[in-house]
Structure 1
Amino acid sequence: MTLIEMTVCVRGIGERFLSLLKELGHMFIFLVNAVYTIFRPPFKFKMLLRQIRFMGSKSIVVILLTGSFTGMVLALQIYYTLRKFGSEAMLGPAVALSIIRELGPVLSALMVTGRAGSALTAEIGIMRITEQIDALTSMALNPVRYLVTPNIVAALIAFPLLTSIFDLIGIYGGYFVGVKLLGLSSGTYFSQMELFVSMEDIRVGLYKSLSFGVIVSWVCCYKGYFTSYGAEGVGKATTSAVVTSSVLILIWDYFLGSVLI
């Protein structure tokens, strides 16, 4: 590789890095603006309730299905691992801790991202390309207050509730496999869980679900709000929102888990 080619390569890497920093800064300012409008009246309660229904109640079916089969598969795999060590009695705590601390918040957030986050990005993106957002601005109305703030608050309410449902269904899915199919004692399953699962574990899952709610609503609203014009732009924004949110959920889960461990 010649010196000129190396220079072009380094310049390209530098331009991409600076572009990424600019995008991150833009996203951060967007989030700060949205959070700031939460504490400025008037607040749109009707829109908030609509978004809670959209993110929460309409996602219950997918959460129930995902939670039940996650608990069942987890119990099945953990049981055969514990049996090699003669520790089948620890199946309950193993399933509960895995779901409450990790799988519940993460899988719930990923499911809601795929179902509600993508639709949210597409909805705001269509409003952008049809100039409805520009119309709000021309009427001296803050589009962030109407389109972004209710979604962030709704996510802060809906995500912990959906995660709680996921945890409960997942634990009972593990109960069905461990007790009804594999013959473990029902008392052993729940008594050991009571001994080893603490409120700190539940708080960790709660903190994660709250942070994931902010990430998903923030990224999806941002991608839709600044989408490029045309149907192709909306499609790219929706894909980018789902992928970015999913990756950030997994990355943030690691860092949050390393702090709250």
Structure 2
Amino acid sequence: MKNGFDLTGKTAVVTGGGSGIGRAISIALATHGAKVSIFDLNEDNAQAVALEITEAGGEATAVKCDVSDEQSVKHAMDRKPIDILINNAGIAHVGNVSNTSSEDMDRVYHINVKGVYYCLREGVNLMKVKGGTIINVSSIAAHVGVSDRFAYSMSKGAIHAMTLSIARDFLANKIRCNSISPARVHTPFVDGFLAKNYPGNEKEMFEALSHTQPIGRMGKPEEIGALVLYLCSDEASFITGSDFPIDGGFMTLNN
């Protein structure tokens, strides 16, 4: 019997694939047969994940790429065939409109919005002939009010809108485009954030942040990877222009 979620013969690009959620997505796709190009600004991290995949029997390459730099994205894509594009690279920012500087706003915009735009443009042009699948990593912050996330929420709202536009504009090219909206996911970023901002109280703050999800914990990167795997597979071929919350009930059960 054929195994489900088979990506054998597919080529995939995962931006920000060198750590956290991007790493988990890269491993999930490679485990199911995709040849994965791991784009990351930190080339050492990308190479470490590529090595992890190849040592497990998969296929992966590391590519240094700054998604906020148009020429860097063009060089990284380099007109290579591509079946799957995962726009995962991005940065966080804490602050409301009163204390978010113009420089902060520009930095978030250039990485989280224009970075996705650059990758979408290159990816769509490479997929136009035979089609493909695009997954944009959005956030619950695109859909609900989250305290002190003004710039970040702006950027993820843009991701949601771009997803709908791509899905609508390229139906005839057999390009599917969807997004996912995670709540808090336990990654090394979370641990670093707690160590920097709550030294000595990391455990207590971790528990507090975990319980903002009604399910009582943060998500796991592997759970995000599994959802992306499904959406990239032929089993999801009837799905486009949709957003998938993966949030432990955050958006629907926090009453």
Larger Rg: 1
Q: TM-score, normalised by structure 2?
A: 0.29
More strand by share: 2
Question: Which structure's relative contact order is higher, taking Cα pairs within 8 Å and 6+ residues apart?
Answer: 1
